[in-house]
């Protein structure tokens, strides 16, 4: 039996597609408007992901890298070439190219115009903006285009279902990677899916081939000017709230570097240096402690900005053990680059008055015989009631 036979394609327009586009765009706009209310959810989900991490999962995601997106690109190019030359469906090929290309450009325009801090201590001018996620938008556009083209062909139902399930799996892997690797917040991923889905539906409501008119050229020119303006004049960008950028008032803030309160530091603290994030203090191999006074035995949230010492761009997953009053309470897995890690402190670990927080860097860190550097510390911040 021939499970993959083709017939003359149906028109690309759909009566439902404009309404679906408005629905997805409305959800995306609603998310942006109420983004400040979603910031606590982003923080909570990021902390949950941190508890699920392991070096094995880190290595798997690092090895996977951009392969899912690259695979979708190869599949899309192959499908479009096949439809163009074998099935004579040039109008559908043109629609696919237009939908993906214009969608990616609009995604980059939004990403440049909306200033939102990533889950990183680097500024958006150094690390890039967080919303929307280019990887997720690209995956949805590529997988959605392939899914729509597949659904329009005459083939067995199980072939269509299997193909769509595989495409959804690719998108899910890309979205999960961006959150797990702390490249984006959960709301970034959700908003990116909504925007890309809305754009695909929007392109379905127009003819596959659109004539180049003066109006089209004017709109394109305006968008290009806006992109250049946002790129070269960052002050024109619209600032969106983020877990990193939200100004919470910490109960206690300990900064490192040359102005660090030396009276509260003891153990294997090393050199003070400066980095793009600000002044830092290096921890040497062994144990380094911070003494602090807590007025009450209650739930606290500890946020620490740290990065591990690495020699090269090789895979990095280094364990940093945290002890409170000589009791081991957590083991952070430090990835490459600056991150702000969050840890809820159980009241049972603490006592009113003097407390000692100790950081232990073991043999898992790379050797640095001359300096013995292991972890760079930027700040420790304590928030009451785990806010």
Indicate whether 245 belongs to any domain.
no
Whether 140 and 38 map to the same domain: the answer is yes
Whether 89 and 234 map to the same domain: the answer is yes
Q: How far apart (Å, rounded) are the C-alpha atoms in residues 213 and 216?
A: 5
* Span 19-69, pLDDT tens digits: 888 999 999 999 999 998 999 899 889 889 888 888 888 888 888 888 999
Whether 372 and 273 map to the same domain: the answer is yes
* Beta pairing partners, 144: none
* Span 208-238, pLDDT tens digits: 555 556 676 677 777 777 777 777 777 778 8
SS (H, E, C) the chain: CCCECCCCCCCCCCCCHHHHHHHHHHHHHHHHHCHHHHHHHHHHHHHHHHHHCCHHHHHHHHHHCCHHHHHHHHHHHHHHHHHHHCCCCHHHHHHHHHHHHHHHHHHHHHHHHEECCCCCCCCHHHHCCCCCCHHHHHHHHHHHHHHHHHHCCCECHHHHHHHHHHHHHHHHHHHHHHHHCCCCCHHHHHHHHHHHHHHHHHHHCCCCCCCCCHHHHHHHHHHHHHHHHHHHCHHHCEECCCCCCCCCCCCEEEECCCCCCHHHEEEEEEEEEEECCEEEEEEEEEEEEEEEEECCCCCEEEEEEEEECCCCCCCCCEEEEEEECCEEEEEEEECCCCEEEEEEECHHHCCCEEEEEEEEECCCCCCCCCCCEEEEEEEEEEEECCC
Whether 170 and 276 map to the same domain: the answer is no
**Last-in-domain residue among 181, 214, 239:** 239
Q: Which domain holds residue 121?
A: 17-239
**Last-in-domain residue among 207, 239, 271:** 239
CB-CB contact of 149 with 83 (8 Å):
yes
Indicate whether 271 belongs to any domain.
yes
* Domain count of the fold of the chain: 2
Indicate whether 244 belongs to any domain.
no
Indicate whether 8 belongs to any domain.
no
205-219, 342-356, 366-380 — most confident range: 342-356
Whether 162 and 293 map to the same domain: the answer is no
Whether 206 and 329 map to the same domain: the answer is no
* Span 188-202, pLDDT tens digits: 999 999 999 999 988
Whether 169 and 137 map to the same domain: the answer is yes
- Which phi and psi (to 5°) does residue 258 adopt? -65, -25
Indicate whether 12 belongs to any domain.
no
**Last-in-domain residue among 239, 266, 295:** 239
Whether 41 and 104 map to the same domain: the answer is yes
Indicate whether 353 belongs to any domain.
yes
Nearby residues of 161 by Cβ (< 8 Å), 6 or more positions away: none
Asked whether residue 4 carries a pLDDT value surpassing 50, the answer given is no
Bin 278: left if φ > 0, else alpha if -120 < ψ < 50, else beta: left
pLDDT of residue 100: 92
Whether the model clears a pTM of 0.75, i.e. scores above it, the answer is: yes
């Amino acid at each position: 039996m021939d499970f993959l036979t083709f017939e003359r394609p149906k028109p690309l327009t759909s009566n439902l597609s404009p309404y679906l586009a408005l629905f997805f765009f409305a959800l995306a706009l609603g998310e942006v408007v109420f983004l400040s209310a979603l910031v606590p959810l982003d923080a909570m989900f990021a902390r949950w992901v941190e508890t699920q991490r392991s070096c094995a999962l880190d290595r798997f995601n690092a090895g996977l890298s951009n392969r899912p997106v690259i695979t979708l690109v190869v599949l899309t190019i192959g499908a479009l070439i096949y439809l163009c030359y074998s099935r004579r469906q040039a109008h559908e090929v043109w629609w696919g190219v237009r939908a993906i290309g214009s969608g990616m450009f609009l995604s980059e325009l939004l990403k440049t115009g909306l200033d939102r801090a990533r889950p990183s201590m680097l500024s958006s001018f150094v690390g890039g903006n967080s919303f929307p996620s280019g990887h997720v938008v690209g995956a949805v556009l590529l997988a959605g285009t392939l899914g729509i083209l597949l659904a329009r062909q005459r083939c067995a139902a199980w072939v269509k279902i299997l193909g769509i399930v595989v495409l959804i799996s690719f998108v899910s892997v890309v979205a999960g990677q961006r959150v797990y690797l702390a490249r984006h917040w959960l709301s970034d991923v959700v908003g990116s899916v909504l925007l890309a889905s809305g754009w695909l539906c929007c392109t379905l409501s127009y003819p596959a081939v659109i004539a180049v008119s003066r109006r089209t050229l004017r709109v394109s020119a305006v968008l290009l000017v806006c992109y250049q303006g946002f790129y070269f004049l960052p002050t024109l960008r619209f600032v969106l709230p983020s877990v990193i950028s939200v100004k919470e008032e910490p109960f206690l803030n300990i900064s490192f570097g040359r102005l660090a309160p030396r009276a509260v530091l003891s153990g294997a603290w090393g050199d003070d240096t400066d980095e793009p994030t600000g002044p830092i203090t290096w921890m040497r191999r062994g144990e380094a402690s911070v003494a602090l006074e807590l007025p009450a035995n209650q739930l606290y949230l500890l946020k620490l900005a740290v990065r591990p010492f690495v020699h090269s761009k090789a895979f990095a997953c280094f364990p940093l053990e945290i002890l409170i009053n000589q009791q081991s309470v957590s083991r952070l897995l430090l990835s490459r680059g600056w991150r702000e890690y969050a840890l809820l402190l159980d009241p049972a670990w603490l006592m009113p008055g003097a407390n000692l927080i100790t950081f232990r860097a073991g043999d898992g860190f790379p050797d640095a015989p001359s300096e013995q550097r292991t972890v760079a510390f930027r700040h420790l911040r304590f928030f009451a009631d785990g806010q």
